[in-house]
Structure 1
Amino acid sequence: MKLWETVRNDVRNDVNWNRAGHLGLKGLRAFPSAAAQYLLEKFPIIGWLPRYNYRWLVNDVIAGLTLGLMLIPQSLSYAKIATISVQYGLMSSWLPAALYAFMGTTKGK
């Protein structure tokens, strides 16, 4: 019991622990706005989707179809070069385009 009291007093009076506690509380208070800012930086779709101009929809669909038509033979050939089954190439071809849709920007910015 005496050891526990000594450790507790040392932790309370230690400058580094006090600083860590102060900075931790400061970070917790800033967390909601910092988290929102982080999400807006990493996923720009959150910012521009509400302001999206639907006149651009036809051009964006054409661009998406062009990308899809390009990715199919590319993913098949990359799978063949890697000597894996071509089905795996097709299954993995959608991920880069989907990531770009969420993490890329558009004219709305």
Structure 2
Amino acid sequence: AMGAKGIEEKGKAENMLSDTLKSLFAVAEAYPDLKSSQNFLELQGELSDTENKIQASRRFYNSNVRDLNTKIETFPTNIMAGMFGFVKKEFFEADESEKANVKVQF
């Protein structure tokens, strides 16, 4: 995900990462000792924190894209945007399956 270029590619990488984590948690379900391990509990906390950071970053990015796109379309900033070649950017959107909360039992 870190080496992805472009919003669409980053979205695909994020979806792939999410799918991999779902597989990891499915494996953990089959091994109760793993679920109760301190390392696994710490991993669970870190993953939750990471997901929250990703969501906050997505909201921040989309807020800035909305502001940029508005300025590109609004007078008088649209004149400068046209002169300097600014173009509208795409929002960072998750797949529908990614928007649903994933139920993981530990």
Smaller-chain TM-score bracket = 0.3 to 0.5
Task: Name the TM-score, length of structure 1 as normaliser.
Answer: 0.34
Larger radius of gyration: 1
The structure where helix makes up a greater share of residues is: 1
Task: Name the TM-score, length of structure 2 as normaliser.
Answer: 0.35
